[in-house]
Amino acid sequence: MQAADAHRTIDAVWRIESARLIAGLTRMLRDVGLAEELAQDALVIALERWPEDGVPDNPGAWLMATAKHRAIDQLRRRRMLSRQHEALGHELEMEQEGNGSTVEASAEDVVGDDLLRLMFIACHPLLSTEARTALTLKLIAGLSTAEIARAFLVPEATIAQRIVRAKRTLAAARVPFETVRAEQLHERLSSVMEVIYLVFNEGYSATAGEDWLRQAMCEEALRLGRILAELAPREAEVHGLVALMEIQASRLGARVGANGEPILLMQQNRALWDRLLIHRGLLALARGEALGATRGPYLLQAAIAACHARAANPADTDWVLITALYDELARLTPSPVVELNRAVAVSMAYGPAAGLELTDRLAAQGALRSYHLLPSVRGDLLAKLGRYDEARDEFERAATLTRNTRESRLLLDRAAACGRGED
């Protein structure tokens, strides 16, 4: 096998197998930091051997067996004599002395439970949102520190520091690798879903930089969401999250023009929307709604996205239903951002004056003072009412608040159109 081909294969295998490998090692070693180190050691050995020996039939089992050998060597080298470590070393040695099928089975057994536990560790409430995100992308998604840094437009050293501090925090708190109790499940799942959707949103509408969207991040978040849905199939909100991401991801091909310029929802060519992703999203939405007596925030947002997905063109959109769904979402999770989205729906259902009244209230409250979408929405509504000078000022203000270059240009173009008396 050519070295370049081998390295591409190893990279693909790592993306698929790394989370399972780290999860299985964490279960045995009770140390996520050490588990990741051993997994990385196994990867280095694969990079040395596979180009010459070829990729094994079961690369995941090979990596696990190699990592276990490294674990045994470390345990022996450190002469850990406590009963716990003696028992652990004996367990690992017994597994290694078994036949090949034992090693392969160890890579597959309880993999679902292990992966879910690893997600709970990576998204532990002890950690900051930034730390949870970085650790999840590192441990579960298999991204390198450099890839995570590029995705969030921050220095690689910053991401590395976040990951190291997160591991130290977990180790100091002696966070156990165990099944989450039933009374904790909702809170812990919420933390995992928050991180996955944060990653998706950063890809779907980048907060900074030259690109309006980063499709690879959306795809990675969607992959993590699908894994979570397989691991927690009875959790309605998990299916709601997947439905929301599937439907939103269906629009990615229509969200930018030939030169990367943003195309807003109402101007998108819906023929470019991915019908397969919409179909998958609607199925996930139906699955989630069948599980829950009441809809949570992700199911409600997915239901809103479904209204757009079902409309063949913008004029067919059921804005009255969307407004009702935002009413429900605002009661469930009240926030100024939800109210702003509700104001947009109200403007589409009942006219721009009705929407402007709501945005004026939000502006007076001051909670969204630094949020660029508030003046952007107000500018749009003012332009629809023919108040072009005011609209231009709002778009210009919005352009100063966003850190995304593409979005800033779009807003300035809209301000210029208002200066010409155009919507």
The model's pLDDT over 330-365, given as tens digits with 9 standing for 90+, comes to 999 999 999 999 999 999 999 999 999 999 999 999
- Final residue before a domain boundary, out of 109, 137, 171: 109
Backbone phi, then psi, for 373, in 5-degree steps?
A: -75, -20
Q: What is the pLDDT of residue 251?
A: 97
Residue 396 resides in a domain: yes
Nearest to 185, CA basis, from 235, 142, 229: 235
Please state, rounded to an integer, the average pLDDT across all residues of the chain. Answer: 87
Q: What is the pLDDT of residue 108?
A: 38
**Is the confidence at residue 222, as pLDDT, over 90?**
yes
Q: 39-48, 90-99, 280-289, 347-356: lowest mean pLDDT where? A: 90-99
Rounded CA-CA distance 65/198 in Å is 34
- Cβ-count burial of 121 within 10 angstroms (0-12 exposed, 13-18 middle, 19+ buried)? buried
At residue 209, the 3 state secondary structure works out as strand
- Final residue before a domain boundary, out of 109, 130, 148: 109
At residue 404, the 3 state secondary structure works out as strand
Q: What is the pLDDT of residue 186?
A: 81
**Is the confidence at residue 322, as pLDDT, over 90?**
yes
- Final residue before a domain boundary, out of 59, 80, 109: 109
Which domain does 5 fall in, by range?
A: 1-109
* Number of domains the chain is built from: 2
In this prediction, residue 33 has a pLDDT band, given cuts at 50, 70 and 90, of confident
Kindly state the average pLDDT of the residues 218-238.
92
Residue 2 resides in a domain: yes
Q: Token pair for residue 34?
A: 């050490």
Whole-model pTM over 0.75 = yes
Residue 404 resides in a domain: yes
**Is the confidence at residue 37, as pLDDT, over 60?**
yes
Q: What is the pLDDT of residue 298?
A: 97
Q: What is the pLDDT of residue 11?
A: 83
Residue 235 resides in a domain: no
What does the pLDDT look like over 275-294, one tens digit per residue? 999 999 999 999 999 997 78
At residue 256, the 3 state secondary structure works out as strand
At residue 250, the 3 state secondary structure works out as coil
State the alpha helices, DSSP H only, in 54-181.
Answer: 59-78, 83-97, 100-108, 111-122, 129-139, 145-152, 156-172
Specify whether the CB–CB gap between 242 and 226 falls below 8 A.
yes
More confident residue, 108 or 3: 3
Q: Token pair for residue 6?
A: 């081998």
Letter string b/e over residues 351-362, b meaning 16 or more CB atoms within 10 A of that residue's CB: ebeebbebbeeb
What does the pLDDT look like over 50-88, one tens digit per residue? 888 888 888 888 998 998 888 887 766 655 445 455 555
